[in-house]
Amino acid sequence: MSQQLTLELSDEVYTDLQQKANAVGLSVTEWIVAVLSNQSNGVSQALHSVAQQAEARQRFRNHAGAISLGYATGINNESIDADLARAYATEYEGQG
């Protein structure tokens, strides 16, 4: 089943659509139908992806607190500096 739709477009809009359609080798009508079809698919995919994002977010949250370093962490700059110094020292040992 198909339906016919009549649109009235300004010359500027039609020219723009014609250029876009010509760039991909379609008629203006074919280009409009293709764009509307893709847009419709995008909406359903976006709705589906919202559910997927919520599910992924929950899986991510399940990992919170799953790893213990064996010591408290925070904004202790001295501890961070010591960790960085050890990391750089072992990375550059033997070079020189």
Span 65-75, pLDDT tens digits: 667 777 666 67
Q: Which domain holds residue 37?
A: 9-63
The letter for the amino acid at 30 is E
Would 34 be classed as within a structural domain? yes
Would 52 be classed as within a structural domain? yes
Span 4-35, pLDDT tens digits: 889 899 999 999 999 999 998 989 998 888 88
Model confidence, pTM:
0.42
Would 42 be classed as within a structural domain? yes
Would 3 be classed as within a structural domain? no
Would 25 be classed as within a structural domain? yes
Could you tell me the two tokens for 62?
């399940």
Confidence of residue 83 (pLDDT cuts 50, 70, 90): confident
Would 37 be classed as within a structural domain? yes
- Return all residues near 34 (Cβ < 8 A) that are at least 6 apart: 26
Would 39 be classed as within a structural domain? yes
Would 89 be classed as within a structural domain? no
Structural domains of the chain, count: 1
- In terms of pLDDT, which residue wins out, 40 or 87? 87
